[in-house]
Amino acid sequence: MAHSAILNVMIKAAYRAGRSLKRDLGEVEHLQVSLKGPRNFVTAADRRAEEIVYEELAKARPDYGFLGEEGGARAGTDRSHRWIVDPLDGTTNFLHGIPHFAVSIALERDGAIVAGLTYNPANDDLFVAERGKGAFLNDRRIRVAARQRLAEAVVACGLPHYGRGDLVLGRHEIAAAQTHFAGLRRFGAASLDLAWVAAGRFDAYWERDLSPWDLAAGIILVREAGGFISDLDGGDAILTKGQIVAGNETMQRELIRLMQEASKQAANDPQREINQSPAKVAAPAPGGRRAT
Ligand code: IPD
Ligand code: CA
Ligand code: CA
């Protein structure tokens, strides 16, 4: 399938970073690992992959800006174009040898996401989308699932953990989902959660406390696959609030309703007081040498 010039640039960068990640996956126990926050790991593999993606994208479009999870923002002379990159989404999975992680690249033009790619090097799943041109998995057109009944739906989510997110709210949201859906999945890579909604593997997905690089490519993948996305209040502030609810029209609307109910219950939950001060404990890095 012929892709546009801009998608070809993104695919080349993702494949090169993917080869580097596959090499590092084989050496994961020797990887340098450090903590960016409670249970939030970064490895030499994340940084290496980001440098490779930056190199490839800057070679093809030297004027574009670049926002990467590990290296932060790099300004470009072309103010209307910016790459948004997560070089390794699912770092905790990667560190445990769980083959569910991805390179995620999006292109933003004048504040709107116009192209996106999410690539899992472990199984070679390549999800791509461009505005007005549809969404594809390995060159096959994909659409969100058409299921209308919640009781038949499999839904994905993120989970708060100590030091990150609201544990009490999380418990109420999970309980609401467990009561209404056929299945709940926490797979550990937000960009793949959104790509799987676009491919109809998950019927819906919601998560909070996300960063632009977790979300950007997934936004256009779900939209171009005929799906609906918003923040948890039903609004458009997905990247600024770091929240997303995705699915077909019915699933997305129902998930918002259930999460808003859960949020009201959590607000009145006496546990809230007790959980206000999560212990900020540094966890030992699994397997890898710890950066001192
Ligand atoms: C994380 C994953 C995870 C999500 C976290 C993200 P990372 O990204 O997407 O599924 O729950 O909020 O930070 O740190 O592995 O790139
Ligand atoms: Ca991420
Ligand atoms: Ca990452």
State the 10-residue block means of pLDDT for the chain, 292 residues long: 93 98 87 79 92 98 98 97 98 95 98 98 98 97 98 96 87 97 98 98 97 98 98 97 98 98 94 58 46 42
Q: Are 250 and 230 in contact (CB under 8 A)?
A: no
pTM above 0.85, yes or no: yes
Contacts of 122 (CB under 8 A, 6+ apart): 22, 25, 99, 100, 101
Ligand with the closest atom to the CA of 49 = 3
Tell me the best of 214, 215, 244 to mutate to test the pocket of ligand 1, counting ligand atoms within 8 Å of each CB and taking the most: 214
User: How far apart (Å, rounded) are the C-alpha atoms in residues 150 and 179?
Assistant: 10
Closest by CA to 187, choosing from 84, 99, 66, 55, is 99
Ligand 1 lined by 232 (C-beta under 6 Å) = no
User: How far apart (Å, rounded) are the C-alpha atoms in residues 190 and 224?
Assistant: 18
Q: Give the model's pLDDT for residue 36.
A: 80
Ligand 1 lined by 189 (C-beta under 6 Å) = yes
Q: Give the model's pLDDT for residue 236.
A: 96
User: How far apart (Å, rounded) are the C-alpha atoms in residues 136 and 142?
Assistant: 5
Q: Give the model's pLDDT for residue 281.
A: 47
User: How far apart (Å, rounded) are the C-alpha atoms in residues 206 and 129?
Assistant: 20
Ligand 1 atom closest to the Cα of residue 193 is 10
Ligand 1 atom closest to the Cα of residue 40 is 14
Q: Give the model's pLDDT for residue 32.
A: 82
CA dihedral (140, 256, 191, 72) in degrees, to 10, reads: 140
